[in-house]
Structure 1
Amino acid sequence: MSELIVNGAVVADTFVRIAAVDDLAQLPVDQDVLAPLSVWQAMPERLIDRAGRRGLLLAPDADPTQAQPFFSRLDVIAVEFPSMVDGRGFSLAYLLRTRLGWRGELRAVGPLVRDQLQMLARVGFDAMSLREGQDLHAALSSLRDFSEPYQGSADEARPLFARASLESSHV
């Protein structure tokens, strides 16, 4: 079983990714399932009726507003990063958290690396899988690489430059 980082800890990943509705027949009804948006749109009742946890997988070019009707039935939304240089998933996470109000687990999946973890967390991801072969326990320390944010993000921390200019204007 693979592992991922969730809320600052390394845990087992219990979700199985499926590509089509027919894949559900091969899984136990209590298996945690991560299905693409197209499956949710085609046959949502097949996923809703399952005993296991339910997840939705968003492609980097997906319209996140199309996932919103399923929010109340989801345990996790996973955003696909097809390569470590494809940054569209950062934007999707920010939109899901800030404009669409997703409060459940938000997972980054794909060949990500340690250096991306802090920014993934800043835009709203609380779960991350990394490229195969990465030491997740060692990668955890990267979430503390920087003590001050330098830009705004979904975590609502005031950027250092904004605090500095605000403080200097009150002198």
Structure 2
Amino acid sequence: MPNIVRHDGTITSDDWTVVPQPAEGESLELPKGPALIPAELWLAGREHFEGNPEIGVWLDSHEEPEILKDHLDKLPIIAINFPKFADGRGYSSARLLRERFGYRGELRAIGDVLLDQLQFMKRCGFDSYALRPDKDINKAPRCLQFFTNAYQAATDNDEPLFRRRGEFPVAVAEETA
């Protein structure tokens, strides 16, 4: 079973199976145990899936998170697929789900997820990450802590640094004559 990284840096086993979009004419095959199914299929059959704590959804990068806004309280987990590391639309989707639509469940990054993206994903509201299989998951906790302070407001802190600067000690260089 693969592992995932949580936003606090802990590494745990991933119990969720990502179910791919079935080919045209094929039906959805659910595995045993928790499953992440394509969002459009969940919406199409929501009367069968609503309230099931072992069924979550995944959004592809081109899908708008608004399609889920009326059903967020019924989804234990939403995963956002990053088809390639250069596709940043998933960051916007995460912020919309957290800030505009108020989603409070687990938000997971899947797909082409790299170590150097984790800190930025965390700031956008993700709280778990399924790294690309060729990446060393043991380096992930350190990658989530690269920066101690960020200048901008985000989902992890809604105040910019200039408003928080009184919270941090300021190092003053001593003059040497």
Q: TM-score, normalised by structure 1?
A: 0.85
Separation (CA, whole Å) in 1 of partners of 2:88 and 2:43: 25
Please tell me whether residue 11 in structure 1 is matched to residue 12 in structure 2.
Answer: yes
Cα deviation digits, residues 25-47 of structure 1 (max 9, x gap): x533xx10101111012111332
Bigger Rg, structure 1 or 2? 2
Unaligned residue ranges in structure 1 (runs of 5+): 165-171
Aligned counterpart, 1:23: 28
Unaligned residue ranges in structure 2 (runs of 5+): 166-177
Superposed displacement of residue 163, structure 1: 4.5
Superposed displacement of residue 156, structure 1: 2.1
Identity %: 34
Cα deviation digits, residues 70-127 of structure 1 (max 9, x gap): 2122110001101011100000000100000000100011111111110100010000
> Please, which of 28, 32, 35 is the counterpart of residue 34 of structure 2?
32
Q: Which structure has the highest helix share of the two? A: 1
Separation (CA, whole Å) in 2 of partners of 1:74 and 1:126: 15
How many residues matched?
Answer: 162
Question: SS of the residue aligned with 1:61?
Answer: coil
Separation (CA, whole Å) in 2 of partners of 1:83 and 1:161: 34
C-alpha root-mean-square deviation of aligned residues, in Å? 2.2
Please tell me whether residue 53 in structure 1 is matched to residue 57 in structure 2.
Answer: no
Superposed displacement of residue 161, structure 1: 4.5
What one-letter code is carried by the residue in structure 2 that aligns with 1:75?
P
What one-letter code is carried by the residue in structure 1 that aligns with 2:41?
V
Please tell me whether residue 85 in structure 1 is matched to residue 81 in structure 2.
Answer: no
Q: TM-score, normalised by structure 2?
A: 0.82
Aligned counterpart, 1:133: 134
Cα distance, 1:27–1:142 mapped onto 2, change above 3 Å: closer
